[in-house]
Chain A
Amino acid sequence: MIKTGFFERNLKYIFPLPALVLVVMLMVFPVVYTVVVSFTDWTLTSGRPMRFVGLQSYLKVLQEPRFLAAMGRTFSFTLSAVFIEAVLGTLLAVILNREFAGKNGLKLILLLPLVATPVAIGIVWNLFYDPTIGFLNYCLSVLGLPQSGWVSDARTVLPSLVLVDVWQWTPMVTLIVLAGLAGLPQEPYESAKVDGASNLQTFRLITIPMIMPTILTAVILRGIEALKTFDIIYAMTGGGPGYASETINIMAYKYSFEYFNLGSASAMLVFLFMLVLLSSLGVIVLRKKSEF
C-alpha cells in the first residue's frame, strides 16, 4: 500500500472547506440572525434595545393588509410571468431547433437581455412606458387605441412589469429548452418514422414527454428568480404608484432600510425564505429524479 500524505488523505475535506466556511459566514449566519431578529420588536429609529416578543412580529405582519396585498402581488407577478415565459420560450425553442443560416447570431441576440444590467433595462423600459413621450403610447395612437398609463397607473403597473420580465427572461427558457432538445436521443424519432407517425404526433407523443423534465426545471428556476425580482421593480416604480407594485421583496427592503423596522422586516423575510426554500426543494427532487 502506498503511503499518502495527510493533505492528500483528507483532500476531500480540505478542498471544499474554505468555500464552505465563507458561505456559512456570509449566508447561514445572516439567515439565522434574521430569524432571531424576527422574534423581536427591534427598530433602529426608536433607540431602545431589542426585546423578544415571540411571534408578535409575525402576527402583526400577517394582519397588515399591505403585506397580504404584497404577498398576493408576488404570487400573481411570479405565476403570470413564468407561465408566459414557459409557453413562449418552449414555442421559440421548438421553432429554432433546426439548422439555418445565422443561428449563432440569433442565439447571441437572445443572450443580450439575459446579460444586460437589470437597472439599466428598467430605465429603458421606463422611457418606453412614459405616458407622454413613450414609444408604446405612440404605437397605441397609431393603431387608434386609447392611451395607457403603463407603470404610472395602479391598474396597469403589474402587467407592465410582467411584460418587462417576459421580455428579459423568455430567452432563458428558450436556451435551456434548446439545449435539452439538442441532447434528446434519436432512436424514438426513427422508430416513429418507421411506424408512419405524423409530425404533429411525433411532437406530441415523443418530443413533449421527453423534454418535459427540462421545461419543469426551467420553470422552477425561473419561478425562484421571479419571486425575488427586485432591481427592475425598484428601479422602475419603487413599488408604486402608491403600493400598487410592491412585492414582498420590495416591502421588506423598505421596512429594513427606509423605516428601520427590523423586527417586521425579518418576519417578512422569513416568509420569503420559506417560499424560496419550498421552490428549491422542487429543484432538488427533480434533479434526483432525472439523474436515473
Chain B
Amino acid sequence: MKSSFFRRVLFGLLLLFIVVPTLFPFLWMLMSSFKSQVDIISWPPKFVFTPTLMNYMKVFGEQNFFKYLINSSVVGASSVVISLILGLPAAYSIARFHQNRTAMFILVARLMPGISFLMPWYIIFSRLRLMDSYTALILSHILITLPVVVWVMSAYFETVPLELEESAMIDGATRQYAFLVILLPLSAPGIVTATTLSFIFSWNNFMFSQVLSMEKTRTLPIAVYNFMSYAEVDWGGVMAAAFAIMAPAIVLTMIFQKYVVKGLTVGAVKG
C-alpha cells in the first residue's frame, strides 16, 4: 500500500520534470508578451508584474501584421488544396498498386534540404519575373505540402479494406468513381491529418519566403524575424508577434491532436 503511494508520487514528480521544461518557454513567451519593456529588462527577471496590452497593440497596429497574416494563410491554403488534388490520386495509386518507387521518389522531396532548390528557383523565378509573387511562393510551398499529403494518405489508404471499392466495381462502377465516391468520404480522418499537418508545415516555413518574397507577399515568419533584427530589440513586441504566429498552429494541434500524432509518426512505425 505504502510503496504504491510512493510510486505514484515518484511518477507524478517524473511527469513534472517532463511537463515543466517543455512548457516553460511557451509560458515565458506569453508572460513577456504582456510585460512592458522596463519589466522585461529588469534584473532579476520578474514573475509578478502589471500586464499591459501595449505589445499586442503595437504588433497588430503598426507592422502590417494583417497583411502578412493574410499572405501566410493564402499561401498555406492554396498549397494544401493543390497538394490534396494532386496528392490524393497519387497516394491511392501508390497504396493500391504498391508503387513503392513512386512513394520513395516523392519522399525524397521531404528529405532533401530546402536550400538545395532555392538557388535555382531564385534564378528561374527572377528570369520569369515571378519574384515576390504568390505563384512562386505557392509552388515552393507545394514541395513541402505534397510529400506530407502523399506520405500520410498512402499509409491511410492501405488501412481501408479493398472490399468496399471492389463491390462497387462489381456493380459496374469504374475504379475512379469508386475512389471518388466510396473511398474518399471514408478517408476523412486521413485527409484531416494530411491537411492539418501540411498546413502547419507551410505556415512555419521561413527559408522559402525569406528568399522568394519581398514586401508584397511576405509571410509571418519573415515579419517576426525582421522584428528581431532592429538595432535595439523590442522584446515585448517580438514575444507578442511570436505568440501570435504560433497560436494558429497550436489551436489546430489542440483540435486535431490525435491526427497530428498519427501524421507525425506514420511511416516511422512499420511503414
Instruction: Check B175 against A20 for contact (C-beta < 8 Å).
Output: no
Stretch at the interface among B36-44, B56-64, B127-135, B185-193: B36-44
If A119-B221, A124-B25, A124-B242 touch, does A26 touch B257 (CB 8 Å cutoff)? no
- Which A residues between 141 and 177 are near B, CB-CB below 8 angstroms? 141, 167, 171-172, 175-176
A217 to B267, CA, bound (A): 9
**Interface residue A71 (Cβ < 8 Å from any Cβ of B):** no
Main secondary structure on B side of the interface with A: helix
Q: Which of B140, B176, B243, B261 has the most CB of A within 10 A?
A: B261
Q: Which of B174, B211, B264 has the most CB of A within 10 A?
A: B264
Instruction: Check B174 against A16 for contact (C-beta < 8 Å).
Output: no
Q: Give the A interface residue count (CB, 8 A).
A: 93
Main secondary structure on A side of the interface with B: helix
If A95-B14, A230-B207 touch, does A183 touch B22 (CB 8 Å cutoff)? no
Instruction: Check B271 against A290 for contact (C-beta < 8 Å).
Output: yes
Instruction: Check B86 against A176 for contact (C-beta < 8 Å).
Output: no
A91 to B249, CA, bound (A): 27
Q: Which of B96, B119, B253, B265 has the most CB of A within 10 A?
A: B119
What is the 8 Å Cβ interface bit string for chain B, positions 249-260, against chain A (1 contact, 0 not)? 110111001001
- What is the CB-to-nearest-CB distance from B138 to chain A, in angstroms, rounded to a whole number? 11
Instruction: Check A111 against B260 for contact (C-beta < 8 Å).
Output: yes
If A20-B102, A108-B254, A118-B206 touch, does A30 touch B18 (CB 8 Å cutoff)? no
What is the 8 Å Cβ interface bit string for chain B, positions 1-38, against chain A (1 contact, 0 not)? 00000000001001100110111011011001000000
Chain B, residue nearest A181 (CB):
B269
**Interface residue B106 (Cβ < 8 Å from any Cβ of A):** yes
**Interface residue A269 (Cβ < 8 Å from any Cβ of B):** yes
Please name 27 pairs of A and B residues whose Cβ atoms are closer than 8 Å in the assembled complex, sorted by A. Answer: A11-B176, A12-B99, A16-B99, A19-B150, A20-B106, A23-B109, A26-B139, A27-B109, A27-B112, A30-B120, A37-B119, A108-B254, A111-B253, A117-B246, A119-B224, A124-B28, A126-B228, A172-B264, A180-B268, A214-B268, A228-B113, A235-B225, A235-B228, A249-B113, A252-B115, A257-B118, A280-B108
Additional A-B contact list (18), CB under 8 Å, known A126-B228, A235-B228: A8-B176, A16-B102, A20-B105, A111-B261, A115-B204, A117-B204, A117-B246, A119-B204, A119-B224, A125-B25, A135-B28, A138-B43, A167-B25, A172-B264, A228-B113, A253-B118, A273-B112, A280-B108
